[in-house]
Amino acid sequence: MEFSALLTSAGINIALCILYLSLYSILRKQPHNFRVYFGRRLAEEKFREQVDYFSFERLLPTAGWLVKAYWCTEDEIRRVAGLDSVVFLRLFIFSIRIFSITTLICVFGVLPVNYNGQEMAHTRVPAESLNVFTIANLKEGSSKLWVHCTALYVITISACILLFQDSAERAYRKFVRVKLSAFDQNMRSSLNRCGLCGVQASSFELYRNKFVEAKKSDLTDPEVVEAQKDCPGAIVFFKTRYAAIVASQVLQSSNPMLWVTNLAPEPRDVYWSNLWIPYRQIWLRKIATLAASVFFMFVFIVPVAFVQSMMQLEQLKQMFPNLRGALKTSFCVRVVTGYLPSVVLLLSLYTVPPLMMRFSAIEGSISRSGRKTSACTKILIFNIWNVFFVNVLSGSVLNQLNVLTRPKDMPSMLAELVPKQATFFMTYVLTSGWFSLCSEILQVYNLVYNFFRKFICCYQDEPEYVYSFPYHTEVPKVLMFNVLGFTFSIMAPLILPFLLVYFCLGYLVYRNQILNVYYPKYEMGGKLWPIMHNTMVFSLVLTQIIALGVFTIKKAPISTGFTILLLIGTILFNEYCRQRFSRIFNSFSAQDFIELDREDEQSGRMREIHEHLLDAYCQSPPGSADEIPMEMIMEDPAQEASNSSQELCDTVQEVAGSIIQEHIEERHGSSSGRR
């Protein structure tokens, strides 16, 4: 592809973007679209629908929304949309910062070196092949490779500093403060399960009284044993958060599959239809979904290969002989080779998120946030493999698999192929990146649905459903562009300005959407940050590996040595971060919980919290007319104020232990030495 083709593509996309954004600024002002563009505000009922008077201004595109989105503070966003939005927007801030630095260095430092890499007569820039701007243009043994090596050092060190400083610890402190509602405790026993049909609301029963009586009298009461048998899971309440965290983090029984305890997800976050799954099935389910995901990942190579074949004009002519006429026009050629392939790829990628979400549900997570996090990881890996690797390692499917089995040849192979695919990824950023932002802000699907509902079907009532933010599709998308940015930074710096525009526009668009459209139904508690962190480190390592390959091919031993040093440093940095931060994202610390408990005690809120425990966990949304009464196994600590939390914890264990023991003896007819 020539530079002019790239400009054509960029031109089309800039025009489309301006069109879409103007359209948005007009459409959002129409009162009948408020349901589409101000879903969150309407859900919170702070935003009253204005009187539907007509003014000419409503038909003029304006940029006021951009200004509003930009000036909103982070605290306000956290208040209205939760910690996850803040984490998500921090990803954009990180990206904008690191790619500002990268763009500066690579466009003004690396790009001229690439362009003047070989002694050749340069034609006019627009007619220049894009390969001239990549590292492929440099001669073997070029003395200018130290520029690339230095750029790599600057990028890596900046990224590490930014990753370590703008995020993990601060996010965590907020995370604890926000999760004030996490005073509950979920204990899951996989001793029995009530069939394969999933648990209906009516299948829960209130065992409190039975257990409280049983504790004081006869633990071997057949009624209690029977009750336990029917119950694959239970939510147990503790008086303090500290007691709950102790019960969740301590290994309960010497068979770790018999009694599994986790902190309960917050009420709205519980994924009720997975609560029945016995723990002993979960590892098998995880392996099965992993296998299915991997299988799907490789099957997906077929559409990607089709996209690849569209890039080659000759192959295209062979496949569709009757298009030959049209393909003779230079403009058509540019559109077909520069624009269509990534649209096809984009459309076929739309099938991935629902499927991965399905896989993650089958996996057995008991919280919606867990399911979303798992789907997010799957989609991310899928994207990196199918968008990045398969496109780079173009060729037959067998060829691609072959690379996996020869890791040693990987760096040099990537080094040779990555610069060649720079063109494709530039257009990918333009179409997939910019275009996805536009369609995100326009909410095309909802707009059309709303239109048909209101004006064709003439429904007058407002639809009840408000969407929650689709982190599982948006996070992988943004991370994918980060991967592209890092890997292409020193290979083909021309991609960087387009990316920077994407991140800046994305920051504004998503701020606007978070503030106006999406309603956070549950808190994920910053669980996405480790995924982001790991992907960043992965991109850095991948970039360094590719650079290693380039330096080896171009015969620059000193640069190779320095890159190996940098690689080791990056891995050590990651290991340190893992040691330092990974545990706090998976569990809470006793210190924080004790502090929160004390605050509650001092403020006198304890009594109130205990009273609200009873109706906290409810399968239908609270406040709705047909509210189902609280039906689950629980120990209500407020009722037994004389027992310390320690004792309560003991009791739960004792009750359970005895019942399990009873059950074992019943089954095997043997009597073990335990009481």
* CA terminus-to-terminus distance, the chain: 79
**Which positions from 279 through 308 interact with a copy of itself, judged by CB under 8 A?**
283, 287
* Binding test (CB under 8 A) with a copy of itself, winner from 11, 31, 198, 256: 256
Reading the block at residue 102, the tokens are 């990268």
Q: Does residue 564 contact residue 548 with C-beta atoms inside 8 Å?
A: yes
Q: Is 173 in the site for a copy of itself (CB under 8 A)?
A: yes
Q: Is 252 in the site for a copy of itself (CB under 8 A)?
A: yes
Q: Is 407 in the site for a copy of itself (CB under 8 A)?
A: yes
What is d(CA 236, CA 492) in angstroms, rounded to the nearest whole number? Answer: 57
Q: Which residues contact 101 (CB under 8 A, 6 or more apart)?
A: 154, 155, 158
Match 């559409």 to its residue by tokens.
303
Query: Which range of residues in 2-10, 95-103, 383-391, 580-588 is near a copy of itself by CB under 8 A?
Result: 580-588
| Cβ 575 to a copy of itself shortest distance, Å | 6
| Cβ 453 to a copy of itself shortest distance, Å | 48
Dihedral angle of Cα 279, 284, 286, 288, to the nearest 10 degrees: -150
Q: Which residues contact 417 (CB under 8 A, 6 or more apart)?
A: 392, 393, 394
Give me the residues paired with residue 234 across strands.
187
| Cβ 583 to a copy of itself shortest distance, Å | 5
Nearer to a copy of itself, 470 or 657 (CB): 657
Q: Is 667 in the site for a copy of itself (CB under 8 A)?
A: no
Query: Which range of residues in 25-33, 248-256, 324-332, 448-456 is near a copy of itself by CB under 8 A?
Result: 248-256
Q: Is 172 in the site for a copy of itself (CB under 8 A)?
A: yes
Q: Decide: helix, strand or coil at residue 2.
A: strand
Q: Does residue 551 contact residue 563 with C-beta atoms inside 8 Å?
A: yes
* Binding test (CB under 8 A) with a copy of itself, winner from 111, 138, 159, 246: 246
Q: Decide: helix, strand or coil at residue 338.
A: helix
Q: According to the 3-state scheme, what is the secondary structure of 123-152?
A: CCHHHCEHHHHCHHHCCCCCCCHHHHHHHH
What is d(CA 490, CA 391) in angstroms, rounded to the nearest whole number? Answer: 19
Reading the block at residue 495, the tokens are 């991609």
Query: Which range of residues in 182-190, 225-233, 535-543, 594-602 is near a copy of itself by CB under 8 A?
Result: 594-602
Q: Is 668 in the site for a copy of itself (CB under 8 A)?
A: no
Nearer to a copy of itself, 69 or 263 (CB): 263
Dihedral angle of Cα 402, 408, 411, 417, to the nearest 10 degrees: -30
Number of residues that bind a copy of itself (CB under 8 A): 48
Q: Is 11 in the site for a copy of itself (CB under 8 A)?
A: no
Q: How many CA atoms lie within 13 A of 342 on its CB side?
A: 25
Q: Is 585 in the site for a copy of itself (CB under 8 A)?
A: no
Site string for a copy of itself, 185-214 (x = CB under 8 A): ------------------------------
Q: Is 558 in the site for a copy of itself (CB under 8 A)?
A: no
What is d(CA 357, CA 379) in angstroms, rounded to the nearest whole number? Answer: 9
* Binding test (CB under 8 A) with a copy of itself, winner from 653, 662, 664, 665: 653
Q: Which residues contact a copy of itself by CB under 8 A?
A: 169, 172-173, 176, 242, 245-246, 249-257, 259, 283, 287, 405-408, 572, 575-576, 579-580, 583-584, 587-592, 594-595, 598, 644-646, 650, 653-654, 657, 674-675
